[in-house]
Structure formats: structure tokens, C-alpha cells
Amino acid sequence: MIEYQDVQAAAVRLQGQLLDTPCVASKTLSDITGAQVFLKFENLQFTASFKERGACNKLAQLTPEQSAKGVIAMSAGNHAQGVAYHAQRLGLRAVIVMPRFTPGVKVERTRGFAAEVILHGDTLDEARNYAVEMSEREQLTFVHPYDDEAIVAGQGTVAIEMLKEVPDLDTLIIAVGGGGLIAGMATVAKALQPNMEVVGVQTARFPAMVNAIKGTNHPQGNSSIAEGIAVGTPGRITQEIIAKRVDDLVLVEEGDIEQALVMLLEVEKTLVEGAGAAGLAALLKYPERFKGKRVGLVLCGGNIDPLLLAAIIERGMVRAGRLARIRVSARDIPGSLARITATVAQAGANIDEVHHQRAFTTLSAQNVEVELVVQTRGHTHVADVLAALRAADFDAQVV
């Protein structure tokens, strides 16, 4: 089991090799959650993820023989980029095996670091098995994304930096996939502040570490918007550390992560991927648990597919009442549609889409159904738009 001294040694090894990212207070998120929130911006690393810490620490300790033959890794993207970038920087051959459905932005960025990318399997476990097989066949050093002491020690340097900036934190809330980040950070936290609470967060669709530590049997899903922590098999090394040094593990739903991601984009003007929003998702889901505490969150990654981001933003606007779908019934006579749109405009809403339906409706043949997607200022404004339509003698309701 790694100790604090191992993480200290990693911190010395990493000096000048990557960014000492800022850790700053967020007044707005503190007001929203009722806790004092401090954010560690690991999404500002060159590869937009904390993963390059562990990768750099591992590669820096290779023997000359291992360096000459090269390395291989399996990853959904962030570990891949960390290994590829630092391998390129150190002049090493790097082969990266990624699941077939890894977001394109992560695949292309990894290739951009001159790595050989192989897309294999539908899950991380399938990609890992292929990578292990290839490492033995071609005598490449396998760089595991989390189940490796050098990787865990490298990730733990996040906590050294955080506690140097904000030494009196009460709680750390950390996303958990395979467990490398939380294992390393908990090692530091418990060494420097034994009473500090360390809480891990998993998506309910991939609760492997929660099941392993708590003995539960939560079912595992097939996909998650937090693909960076969509890990089906917890690490052996990390599980042992988590059992000893992590105080609790909690689950969040996909909608919780979406809400947190949009909030970080709107409030902090910072872009994170699903895994990077998991800590805030837990804080939003369990506010009473953390109320009044000084809480540190790690924005652990910022690599997100633009199309997924667009969908999440749009869904977030719907949840916030900023986008609403309104169904209006009216007499099918000239001028009805014009009156509907004019009424919406006078209520201060902007029309995004209009669908005019005559055939597929249960209304009488003399009536028409108009479905509008409107941009509003929020739920109260939606109610105002509905009231305006009803005052103009239209039957209107939110779909």
C-alpha cells in the first residue's frame, strides 16, 4: 500500500512537467449548495485531465530497457492522452487500446500525440484484455489507468497542491472510476489531516467500487455520460486503499451529473466532462450532508464530445424552464397561427420551433393543434406565457 512519502516523491518527480492547477473558492456555488466550495481545476492541464500526473510519474520510472521497447495502455480517453503526451515528450513508443465507442474528440487528440490507437471491444475490460495480450506479445510495458502504485502516487499529487492552497478543508469529494485518484488523494489527506472526510462519487450506472466496498449489489449499466468513471472492475490496489482511507462512497444519477455540468458551464464558465462534474453532482444531491463545511471538489477532466455537450446543454435548459414545449389548441381558421405567435411574442418569449398538426390529433376537424418550442427566462416565465395564451382564449398547456 502506498504511503504519503510515495506521493511526495511523485510530486518532486513531476515538478516542471505539468501544471500546478489553481484551487479557488466559488462564491456562487457556495451560495447555491450551502457549503464553502473550493474547485481544483484539473481540466486546465495540457491534456485537460488529472490523468497525466499518474502517467508521467509511471513513465519517469521506466528502466532503459522498458523505455527502448515502449508502453501500452487501455483507456476511454484521458489516461490515453496522458500516456501518449508524456510518451511523446520522452521519446517513447506508445500504443493505446480504446473501446470502440470512445468519444471521437478523445480518439483524435490521442492520435495527435503520435500514439498508435487501436479501437477494440465495447468496454474497458475488453480493451484491457486485448492490451495485456498485446503487451506480452510485443514486450511493451503495460501502463494501467489506475491499478498501479506509481499511477496512484502520481494522482495523489492533486491533494498535495489542494491542501497547500486550502489546508483547512473539512471534506474532499472525488469522482471514482477505478479509484486511482481517490486512493492517491485519500493517502495524502489522511496523512496531513486525519480528521478530514474523504467521500467518493460513482455514477449509479457503474457502481463497481460501491459494491466492492459496501457489499451492495447495485446493477451495472451499459453506458454513462461520465465515461471517464464508467469502470466495471475496481482496482485491487485502489480498493484496498479506499477501504482503509476513504470515509464513504455515494451514487449519483445521470441527471445529477448533467445538472452539475451545465451549472459549472454557466456559473464558473468552465467546461468539464461528465466525470469532472460528479463531485458537484454529489454536493447538489446531498446538500444537508455537506452544509456549512469547507468542501474541495476536483474538476478532474474537461474532454467532452461537442455533440454530447450540446445535448446536455439543451436538456439542462429544459430542466431550468429556459426551453419549453407548449401545445396550443385553436380553431382552424385563417389568422389563428398568427395570433398564437403574436401572443407568445407579446409575453416576451422567443419561438424556436413550430409544428402545425391537423391529422394526428383527437381534436375535432375544425380545430388545429400547434406545438411550440419556446425560449423563456425560466419556469415563472413559462407560466406567464401560458397565462397570456389562455387570456387570448387559447387552450394551452406544457407538454
The yes/no answer on whether domain 321-398 falls in CATH 3.30.70.260 is: yes
Q: Decide if pLDDT at 105 tops 90.
A: no
Q: Considering the chain, tell me which residue range(s) the CATH 3.30.70.260 domain(s) occupy.
A: 321-398
If one compares 230 and 175, the residue with the highest pLDDT of the two is 175
Distance CA 321, CA 382 (A): 7
Q: Got the DSSP string for 140-160?
A: PEE--SSSSHHHHHHHHHHHH
Decide if 277 contacts 201 (C-beta within 8 A): no
Record the pTM.
Answer: 0.89
Q: Considering the chain, tell me which residue range(s) the CATH 3.40.50.1100 domain(s) occupy.
A: 4-50+149-316, 51-142
Q: Decide if pLDDT at 75 tops 90.
A: no
Distance CA 251, CA 229 (A): 12
- CATH fold of 4-50+149-316 reads Rossmann fold (3.40.50)
The yes/no answer on whether domain 51-142 falls in CATH 3.40.1390.10 is: no
Among residues 94, 145, 101, the alpha carbon closest in space to that of 121 is found at: 101
Q: Decide if pLDDT at 176 tops 70.
A: yes
Among residues 282, 276, 278, 279, the alpha carbon closest in space to that of 303 is found at: 276
Q: What is the pLDDT of residues 271-294, one digit of tens each?
A: 999 999 999 999 999 999 999 999
Q: What is the pLDDT of residues 299-346, one digit of tens each?
A: 999 988 888 999 999 999 998 899 999 999 888 888 888 999 999 999
Q: What is the pLDDT of residue 359?
A: 65
Strand partners for 251: 202
Alpha carbon distances (Å) from 231 to 26, 73, 178, 204, 235: 30, 15, 6, 11, 10
Strand partners for 202: 251
Alpha helices (H) along the chain: 4-14, 27-33, 51-59, 64-69, 78-90, 104-111, 124-138, 149-165, 180-192, 208-214, 236-245, 254-263, 278-285, 287-290, 306-319, 336-346, 379-391
Residue listed under C-alpha cell 489546508? 167
Q: Which helix (H) or strand (E) holds 253?
A: none
Among residues 200, 189, 183, 196, the alpha carbon closest in space to that of 161 is found at: 189
Strand partners for 330: 368
